[in-house]
Homo-oligomer: A and B are copies of this chain.
Amino acid sequence: MEKPSLPKGTRDFGPQVMARRNHIVDAIRAVFQKYGFQPLETPAMETLATLTGKYGDEGDQLLFRILNSGDFLKNVDLHNVTDARTLAPYISEKGLRYDLTVPFARYVVMNRHDITLPFKRYQVQPVWRADRPQKGRYREFYQCDADVVGTDSLICEAEIILMIKEVMTRLNVADYSIKINHREILNGIAHAIGASGKETELFVAIDKLDKIGEAGVRQELENKGFSTEQCLSLFTILKTPGTNQSKLGSLHTLFKPSQPGQKGVADLQQVFELLTRYRQDDAHVEFDLALARGLSYYTGCIFEVKINGVAIGSVSGGGRYDNLTQAFGSKEKLSGVGISFGIDRLYDALDELNLFPKSARAVATVLVCHVDETSLRYGLGVLSQLRSVNIASEIFPETAKLKKQLDFANNKKIPYALVIGPDEIKSGILALKNLESGQQENLPLDAIIKKLIP
């Protein structure tokens, strides 16, 4: 028999990894809930009618399609089949979720009459993409999204910043930047350098600044027909010096009144002003004129979060969009703003910075050990008492050499062993071994419970 294997690009998450992933997801979920976001889950499968045409041609190629069940060739005339592309629609009508935004939009359209606006939902589920797997890129990965739809209020943008800060605090990350920009400011820059109508090429190039540097971006723009003067003006603007406030001041002056860009400046000024109403300053928040977020569908504020000191791209990103449900033919225009955290990248960053707390482990606190059948049975009563006060605990379920039991505890990284033998049963004084420090204390069970109670 062949050795079993995993489909490429997929992973098992064993106990230690799960405990750490839960540490991250629990922190994010707690913050979302604290800010009034409500949970939603959608099915892993969606109809291909829901999925296709939403992610561009490349996205359509990367959808995992599910073969129709039963006799999927029943209505297919094989003589007319020339290639996979013509056959596919006949044999597959469902695909796997590709992101969390399209299912959310589908949910809103289908449940519009039961939803109270503004609607704040969060969603933590895996998505699947038939991408070529490589380091840090998987075919199955979790997304962790929160969105508000049905309001234009910039309070939502301010709260996204507050939520990011609180997630970082809960994850013990001290050195990070929340980059913020505005699509209208990018439009204003395009206008200011005389490149209106060529925004797409401009933003795609700017978006690569981190990867290919100034010279690379210049090269790409010149290849696309931008003049040397335009590039020069562009980088002069992108390098506007100063604080968030002074940069906004400079742009306010640069962008002519009632021309593209002013709305973006006004929005960001209001977001910064709102933060002060929450009694918060703009620590960690960095107005970054070169933040473009690729070709995404954002129309207002855009965000990206970087953890400093690690070689990992952004761990979170989002922004405001004009019309969530447009793609489903909804006539009502639902504007919204959202943020998405990348669990895998956060994991790698916390791991690299050694920021996982000791408590992020999924093991019992105590292993009850024993030296014979009698102490094993006595141990069951001890276990009951430990568990009655919610101390996670287990017993080695067979009589075995004490060394084997302690090895078991050490391998699982259980922090304490409680050893029971005839003397302990007689005296009622049990031996509590701290397996990390090696120290042993001899205490009655009451005192042990007091020590370990969560």
Q: What is A's interface to B at a CB cutoff of 8 Å?
A: 1-7, 10-15, 18-19, 22, 33-36, 38-47, 49-50, 61-62, 64-67, 69-74, 78, 81, 83-84, 87-88, 91-92, 94, 96, 106-107, 109-111, 114, 116, 118, 120-121, 126, 128, 130, 139-140, 148, 151-153, 155-156, 158, 274, 277-280, 328-329, 362-364, 367, 377, 380-381, 383-384, 387, 390-395, 397-398, 407-408, 411-412
> Inside 8 A of A44's CB, which chain B residues have their CB?
10, 44, 96, 126, 128, 140
Are A10 and B387 in contact, with the CB atoms below 8 A?
no
Are B65 and A381 in contact, with the CB atoms below 8 A?
no
| Of the residues B67, B96, B411, contact of A92 by C-beta under 8 Å | B67
Are A116 and B412 in contact, with the CB atoms below 8 A?
yes
Are B15 and A392 in contact, with the CB atoms below 8 A?
no
Tell me the complex Cα distance, A181–B46, Å. 42
Number of copies of this kind of chain in the complex = 2
Are B40 and A12 in contact, with the CB atoms below 8 A?
yes
Are B380 and A277 in contact, with the CB atoms below 8 A?
yes
> Smallest CB-CB separation from A35: which chain B residue?
B394
29 of the cross-chain contacts (CB-CB < 8 Å) are: A4-B47, A4-B50, A4-B110, A5-B50, A7-B94, A10-B43, A11-B43, A12-B40, A14-B111, A15-B38, A18-B40, A34-B392, A35-B394, A36-B364, A38-B363, A38-B412, A44-B140, A61-B69, A64-B69, A65-B66, A66-B66, A72-B84, A73-B81, A73-B84, A116-B411, A118-B397, A156-B397, A278-B384, A279-B381
> Inside 8 A of A155's CB, which chain B residues have their CB?
380, 395, 397
Tell me the complex Cα distance, A385–B260, Å. 38
| Of the residues B41, B70, B87, B398, contact of A73 by C-beta under 8 Å | B87
Tell me the complex Cα distance, A120–B363, Å. 10
Tell me the complex Cα distance, A10–B367, Å. 42
Are B106 and A381 in contact, with the CB atoms below 8 A?
no
| A406 CB → nearest B CB, Å | 12
> Smallest CB-CB separation from A19: which chain B residue?
B39
Tell me the complex Cα distance, A387–B37, Å. 14
> Smallest CB-CB separation from A47: which chain B residue?
B7
